[in-house]
Amino acid sequence: MTNCKLENSVSEPWSEDSSRTLGLRPDPNPFRLLGVRFDNLTTVEAADQIECFIHEGRPRMILARNAAIRVMEDQDFSLHHIYETSDLVTVDGMAFVYLGRLFGRPFKEMTGGPALWYELLRRAALKGYRIFFLGGREDILRKAVARLQEQYPDLQVVGCHNGYFKAEEEDEIVETIRQSRAQILMVGMSPPMKERFLEKHLNRMDVPASIGIGGAIDLFAGVCTLAPSWMRILCLEWLYRVWQEPRRLLRRYVVSNTRFLLLVIKQVSGISVKGSPNTV
């Protein structure tokens, strides 16, 4: 296991466990659920792991897997391969958290999503990590960066670029990111665009921690808000998002949720027939 010295850890609302001992890279404790891999870490442990990546300096990819992505993987093996070979895969969404309990493989907590994003932003501002943002509409991206710099006055944003670009523009964007010497790259694009971009350009960008953040740019800008905690607990966060953007998200979530439910039913049926919970 690689030693990794972490400094100046400060407790915040997103990181309640300030009593942990820092120094060694957290054990990702990976396991498989519905046939795919997750790293079982708390939010604080995942942030510690990403800080280790930053200190080590070589390019790493951090992704969060949710129910919709799990469904997409069945239809897109290349996307599945990207997640399986990613340096860190956190769990995003309570559906998988409940499934883990059902199959006797409980997650420490729901690590992917806003909790981890804000913890990393807090640490970046505290420790001077350089951040580059990629994704979102130009006006929304600029608003997001401005709001974050108000919230975290010491945040070092070394660059940003909207997520609406042509394939022939990618080389220029990659070079801009490389020259920025960013230590954290937050990529706010929809799947599978963000995953393919990261897989294709990870080494060329030379960023120690490249993180897929999905629609977080809109969240940072205040364009959308988080679902109430009771909706997240009941796995209804998708419904809240559909309410915010019905034309764009209704069909996507109806289809993906139905397919995910079928996956779960097949898995449960398989366990009852085979009597082997290790197949999950």
pLDDT more than 90, % of the chain: 65
Query: Across the strands, what pairs with 30?
Result: 39
Q: How would residue 4 be classed by pLDDT, with cut points 50, 70 and 90?
A: low
Neighbours of 3 (CB within 10 A): 9
CA 108/CA 174 separation, integer angstroms: 35
Span 17-39, mean pLDDT? 71
Span 79-108, mean pLDDT? 93
CB 64 within 8 A of CB 103: no
pLDDT of residue 87: 97
DSSP string computed for 58-70: S--EEEEE-HHHH
Which string of b and e fits 12-48 if b means at least 16 CB within 10 Å?
Answer: eebbeeeeeeeeebbebeeeebbebebbbbbbbbbbb
pLDDT of residue 184: 98
Q: How would residue 67 be classed by pLDDT, with cut points 50, 70 and 90?
A: very high
Residue 1 has pLDDT above 70, yes or no: no
CA 262/CA 144 separation, integer angstroms: 37
Is residue 92 exposed (0-12), middle (13-18) or buried (19+ Cβ within 10 Å)? Answer: buried
pLDDT of residue 62: 98
Q: What CA dihedral angle connects 185, 188, 190 and 193, to 10 degrees?
A: -30
Instruction: Supply the pTM of this predicted model.
Output: 0.85
pLDDT of residue 276: 35
Residue 5 has pLDDT above 50, yes or no: no
Residue 8 has pLDDT above 50, yes or no: no
Contacts for 245 with CB less than 8 Å, ≥ 6 apart: 224
CA 120/CA 129 separation, integer angstroms: 9
Residue 186 has pLDDT above 90, yes or no: yes
Comparing 55-69, 129-143, 242-256, the range with the smallest average pLDDT is 242-256
Mean pLDDT across the chain: 86
Residue 18 has pLDDT above 90, yes or no: no
Comparing 14-18, 26-30, 41-45, 216-220, the range with the smallest average pLDDT is 14-18
CA 246/CA 153 separation, integer angstroms: 35
Report strand pairing: 30-33 vs 209-212: unpaired
Span 184-189, mean pLDDT? 98
Q: How would residue 232 be classed by pLDDT, with cut points 50, 70 and 90?
A: confident
Q: Which of 73, 108, 111, 74 is nearest to 92 (CA)?
A: 111
pLDDT of residue 16: 36
CA 266/CA 173 separation, integer angstroms: 43
**Omega before residue 192 within 30° of 0, cis:** yes
Q: Residue type for 107, please?
A: F
